[in-house]
Chains A and B, each alone.
Chain A
Amino acid sequence: MKEMLKYQGDKVLLARNLNVQFDVKGQPVDILSDVNFELERGETLGVVGESGCGKSMTALALLNMVPSPPGRISAGEVILNSENLLSLSKKEMKRVRGKEISMIFQEPMTSLNPVFTVGNQLIETIREHKKISKDDALSEAIELLKSVQIPAPEQRIKEYPHQLSGGMRQRVMIAMALVCDPKVLIADEPTTALDVTVQAQIFDLLKEIQNRNQMSIILITHDFGAINEMADRVIVMYAGYKIEEGPLNEIQTKAIHPYTQGLLKSMLEIKPDSKGFRAPLPEIPGSVPDLLNRQPGCPFGPRCALATEKCLKMPPSFNLGPKRSVMCWLAEDGANK
């Protein structure tokens, strides 16, 4: 308990001014612009936004896995254990990936190799990071499968990915990510491809693992429901910018950015009464901006109902308190400068 307290408030991971550019037809296009955040031990940070807003790219940038070419991290730092991951060599980075930071992906079928058994792939990962014999690795793999609640792990370990269901595959992916007890787990839409009942199981599992070893989770999702279920803090992204950040309950009840409000409003909910049945849902008009031809000013400006002339100028990120920031001129008055 004492140790836990000591670690609370510890920053595990820091992202500073992350910028990612892609070269499209010889033109550099900004995919991420000055993304800042920090992650504390044992907390879950939710990153939410529409497709194409840069949330998956943030995850890849943290692991220095931005596909290059055409992409490159043009500026910024990712600090873990007081070293900048972006300045590490490929070989050094290999040590960090899996050991310090792990990642699970959206579609477990495409991230598992179909021609090797689950056990084979798990043992490979274990032996990559630990110098142990194959037999020891096998028993460790079985233990891991047990810890992610796969029934009959001794049999399952001999099976190929296609023999497992979607939920099982995602469990295998989680087991693989946990091989070295990483400090940070990046979960990129871990349940989007799964059914609701299985989604609930996976979230329960992640929470249980987090309680067990005080791991920090970055949960990337487009679903506010998942954020509400899992996250302690939330980052809302739009067109490559972090437009709002805050604790979960503040984002839910006191969202300031019109985009966050719009996202929250357009989410459908189960209501017990027939109020609102087939009533027009509040929608955010238009669609995400074309990153190739960015217009000057606030990226959300053209879709924003509250846009004024001021919005033709790019708003800075206003700090509204510890770990609370909004990138919108509406927040200017409340900001402590």
Chain B
Amino acid sequence: MNNNLNIKPLVKLDNLKVHFKLKRTSWFSDPQVVHAVDGISLEINRGKTLGLVGESGCGKTTAGRAILGLVKSNSGEIYFEDKALTSISSEEMFPLRKRMQIIFQDPYSALNPRQTAGDIVSDPLVVHNIGSQKERQERVDELFSMVGLQKNQQVLYPHQFSGGQRQRLCIARALALNPDFIVCDEPVSALDVAIQAQILNLLCKLQDDLNLTFLFISHDLAVIQHVCDEIAVMYLGAVVEKADRETLFNNPRHPYTKALLSAVLTSSSGEKVKRIRLEGDIPNPINKPSGCRFRTRCAHAKELCSQKEPILQEKSPGHWEACHFQT
């Protein structure tokens, strides 16, 4: 326990906000703003996996990209070890980029169709000017065997690989620079179930072997519960519930988490639980509802919910929730 206190989180988000300005509708009006990420605070410990789950448009991908500096954050702070990433110069950022990588959802569009597989994987080494030609080749060989691809496949182009193999290539590329932290942005959602299992097994194995830290973004709760130590549920740009894996799945608190969990389809023929059905769609992030952002779809919404926005509070040890009720 003492040990735990001394460990500093590898990545820490402090009230991170990412807003996108839209075109003005007329000359004198203020531009509309999409509140993609609306103040989230998270910590990821070294060697652990934090799962970020939510429906499309809830800001989970934007949050992941903001950590890597792929989109600019508007306010709040991102800490990587002790460095505040939002205030450092791009020269200082460059060496840090080696240590954080990303695996994208769609392995079809994330690979350059005109580069061979070998070139794709050695590219990060070239960009960061690491090693001689020969050393790079050795590293590429090593990476290929790590992710379960054949050495002789290095001369092939992306279209000659299947979806699962392409995702392996993306993983090899992300690992090329020996990163500490990888954002896995829906790494298995574009793949078939049988291939999903292969990729998840590979990611888990690599994490254990290389002591990697993952931010695992997914809309699929079954995938999240298989790989994540801690889980944050996002809704419309904010974290509504955060807990470790077991607590969240056994004892969900927030009405949205409960609805999400009950909407998951299962393949077993066991007794069908009564589903909580959410009405309607996720609201527009330009004009988010006043007060609690979930109130328009929440079955328990009271008047208070439209007036005051609930803040994320620790309701029981390690279990954070943003809801006025059920305390």
Contacts and interface: CB of A to CB of B under 8 A. Distances in A.
Interface string A276-299: 111011111101100000000000
A268 B222 contact: yes
B221 A283 contact: no
Interface stretch (A107-115, A124-132, A193-201, A329-337): A193-201
Interface string A125-147: 00000000000000000000000
A252 B267 contact: yes
Contacts, number: 127
Nearest to B259: A197
A73 interface: no
Contact of B56 (A195, A271, A280, A283): A195
B56 A267 contact: no
Contacts of B265: 199, 223, 225-226, 228-229
Given A165-B281, A196-B55, A228-B269, A268 B263 contact: no
Given A201-B277, A270-B225, A225 B55 contact: no
A260 to B, nearest CB: 11
B281 A198 contact: yes
A283 B194 contact: yes
A234 B282 CA distance: 33
A153 B18 CA distance: 34
Contacts of A272: 249-250
Interface stretch (B113-121, B131-139, B196-204): B196-204
A50 interface: yes
Nearest to A278: B204
A274 B246 contact: yes
Interface in B260-274: 260-261, 263-269
Interface string A218-240: 00001111111100000000000
A287 B281 contact: no
A89 interface: no
A51 B108 CA distance: 14
Contacts of A201: 277-278
B267 A228 contact: yes
28 contacts: A166-B56, A196-B260, A197-B259, A197-B263, A197-B278, A200-B275, A200-B278, A224-B193, A225-B264, A226-B265, A268-B223, A269-B267, A270-B221, A270-B222, A270-B261, A270-B264, A270-B266, A272-B249, A274-B245, A276-B226, A277-B225, A277-B245, A281-B226, A283-B197, A283-B198, A287-B162, A287-B195, A288-B162
Interface of B: 55-56, 162-165, 192-198, 200-201, 204-205, 219-223, 225-227, 245-246, 249-250, 259-261, 263-269, 275, 277-278, 280-282
Given A199-B263, A270-B225, 8 more contacts: A195-B55, A196-B263, A228-B269, A252-B269, A267-B222, A271-B225, A273-B246, A287-B164
